[in-house]
């Protein structure tokens, strides 16, 4: 039986859980105990652009206008990292500088933020010191991802070997080395444990999304994610494409100063949301004739669970966007010969999906997605406000739906242990939720 989880009036009371200014509806078709509750709420003076947990979820980074806020959740502490304002507009009016994306390094020591002024900034969390500004993009920075796995060995790297990837409106992804931040000890010849300030860091690689003949500007890249083995990079974009680059193949990625050609391109079809992979010719990804133009706001590699999920030369990618659905892609192949195929579509949102996150818990794959406010529905009792959906990706089912934010849910993140969800919104609030799907 199909249940309308957006209309709590159609559900028995046992499948509805309410708080003071929020409520959740649970899917009656999911035969397991489930619960969710709000455990923290942080209000800000501007819209929330991005949220991100640290690996252990003890830290929470929030990107807003002109600053990044870092919350030490267990100790109830708050730290502010200002972002300098760009030069004023021609009319003299000050320009805002929103932190469009934030990230925390795997070891919890580095905080990164990408902003409207095209820069990526890094801070050292234990000391609170500013480290460097990464300069190279020519458009707003919308996505960040740390990678601590070497693509050549598929093994974890030391902090000094970690890289930071940034996706931008200029149609490029920069791969930044963090080794220059770890000053060499001249006495021992080894890297220092603590990073220090360093200017002029150059990208190791620049991954380019080629501009088609129909496009007047490079495709705007909205997100970036790295495969569990560090070999592949995936990016979502505003031109309805999910692109994959192979860091092991010089024919796909760009070395410093070169222009990359023809990344593999998974075209999203507006009719059924899945398609076969286009050849790596860099062909157009325009929508079908008469279909509404779509954009991909999130694209994430799913952590490996073996048994065909990420094992060997196979990876899974989950993408979401304005087509109101999540798409699961199977990406496979050897170096330089990557193929992709859409294998599953998850539907339920009534409005465009603005953000998504994915987590591996045991052998379960959970995803959270947040929507825009959308259009009013005629169904009695159905809500048109922004919603957050929690999914069981393998089963393709919505576990529960959350409502409480009064504006678009702009960013979501799941803790790695499968117990916490954080949501940020245009209503200037960040909410942390504790959930159980046992």
Give per-residue pLDDT as tens, 370-386.
Answer: 999 865 444 444 455 79
Please say whether the beta carbons of 160 and 201 come within 8 A.
no
Q: Measuring CA to CA, which residue among 181, 104, 185, 191 is closest to residue 148?
A: 104
Neighbours of 191 (CB within 10 A): 17
The verdict on residue 436 lying in a domain is yes
Q: Which domain, by its residues, includes 438? A: 1-56+348-438
> Higher-confidence residue: 163 or 292?
163
Confidence of residue 229 (pLDDT cuts 50, 70, 90): confident
| DSSP conformation class of 286 | P
How much is the pLDDT for 92? 74
Q: What is the pLDDT of residues 233-265, one digit of tens each?
A: 999 999 888 888 888 764 333 333 333 333 555
How much is the pLDDT for 285? 26
Counting residues of the chain whose pLDDT is more than 70, the rounded percentage is 78
> Which tokens go with 125?
């969390």
Q: What is the pLDDT of residues 12-39, one digit of tens each?
A: 999 999 999 999 999 999 988 999 999 9
Q: Measuring CA to CA, which residue among 101, 110, 95 is closest to residue 64?
A: 101
Tell me the C-alpha distance between 190 and 136, whole Å.
29
The verdict on residue 13 lying in a domain is yes
Confidence of residue 266 (pLDDT cuts 50, 70, 90): low
Confidence of residue 183 (pLDDT cuts 50, 70, 90): low
The verdict on residue 297 lying in a domain is no
Confidence of residue 392 (pLDDT cuts 50, 70, 90): very high
pLDDT at 148 over 80: yes
Maximum average pLDDT range among 312-326, 334-348, 422-436: 422-436
Burial state string for 325-355 with b = 16 or more CB within 10 A and e = fewer than 16: bbbbbbbbbebeebbbebebebebbbbbbbb
Tell me the C-alpha distance between 141 and 121, whole Å.
11
The verdict on residue 365 lying in a domain is yes
The verdict on residue 387 lying in a domain is yes
Q: Report the CATH number at residue 8.
A: 2.130.10.10
Range from 20-34, 78-92, 390-404 carrying the lowest mean pLDDT: 78-92
| Average pLDDT value for residue range 113-139 | 96
How much is the pLDDT for 341? 82
| Average pLDDT value for residue range 286-298 | 56
Tell me the C-alpha distance between 290 and 306, whole Å.
41
The verdict on residue 339 lying in a domain is no
Number of domains present in the structure of the chain? 1
Task: Compute the 3-state secondary structure of the chain and give helix, strand, coil in percent, each to the nearest 5.
Answer: 5, 45, 50
Please say whether the beta carbons of 321 and 295 come within 8 A.
yes
Look up tokens 């496009």; give the residue.
Answer: 215
The verdict on residue 231 lying in a domain is no
The verdict on residue 417 lying in a domain is yes
Helices within 5-81 (DSSP H only)? none
């Amino acid at each position: 039986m199909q249940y309308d989880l957006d209309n709590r009036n159609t559900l028995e009371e046992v499948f509805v859980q309410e708080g003071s200014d929020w409520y959740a509806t649970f899917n009656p078709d999911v035969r397991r105990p489930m619960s969710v509750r709000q455990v923290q709420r942080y209000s800000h003076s501007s819209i929330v652009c991005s949220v991100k947990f640290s690996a252990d979820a003890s830290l929470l980074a929030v990107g807003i206008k002109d600053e990044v806020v870092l919350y030490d959740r267990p100790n109830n502490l708050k730290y502010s990292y200002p972002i300098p304002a760009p030069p004023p507009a021609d009319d003299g009016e000050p320009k805002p500088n929103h932190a469009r994306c934030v990230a925390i390094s795997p070891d919890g020591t580095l905080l990164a933020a990408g902003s409207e002024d095209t820069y990526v900034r890094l801070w050292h969390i234990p000391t609170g010191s500013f480290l460097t500004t990464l300069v190279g993009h020519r458009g707003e920075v919308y996505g960040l991802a740390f990678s601590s796995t070497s693509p050549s060995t598929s093994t974890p790297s030391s902090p000094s070997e970690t890289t930071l990837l940034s996706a931008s409106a200029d149609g490029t992804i920069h791969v930044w080395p963090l080794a220059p931040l770890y000053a060499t000890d001249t006495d021992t010849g080894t890297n220092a444990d603590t990073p220090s300030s360093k200017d002029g860091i150059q990208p190791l690689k620049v991954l380019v999304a080629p501009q088609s003949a129909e496009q007047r500007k490079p495709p705007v890249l909205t997100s970036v994610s790295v495969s569990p083995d560090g070999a592949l990079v995936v990016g979502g974009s505003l031109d309805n494409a999910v692109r994959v680059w192979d860091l092991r193949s010089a024919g796909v990625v760009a070395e410093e100063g070169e222009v990359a050609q023809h990344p593999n391109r998974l075209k999203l079809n507006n009719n059924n949301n899945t398609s076969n992979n286009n050849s790596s010719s860099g062909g157009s990804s325009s929508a079908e004739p008469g279909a509404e133009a779509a954009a991909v706001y999130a694209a994430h590699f799913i952590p490996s669970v073996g048994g065909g999920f990420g094992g060997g030369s196979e990876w899974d990618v989950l993408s979401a966007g304005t087509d109101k659905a999540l798409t699961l892609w199977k990406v496979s192949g050897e170096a330089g010969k990557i193929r992709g195929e859409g294998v599953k579509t998850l539907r339920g949102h009534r409005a465009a999906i603005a953000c998504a996150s994915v987590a591996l818990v045991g052998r379960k794959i959970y995803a959270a997605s947040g929507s825009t406010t959308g259009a009013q529905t005629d169904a009695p009792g159905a809500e048109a406000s922004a919603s957050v959906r929690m999914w069981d990706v393998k089963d393709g089912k919505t576990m529960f739906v959350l409502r409480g934010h009064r504006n678009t849910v702009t960013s979501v993140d799941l803790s790695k242990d499968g117990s916490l969800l954080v949501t940020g919104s245009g209503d200037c609030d960040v909410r942390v939720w504790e959930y159980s799907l046992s």
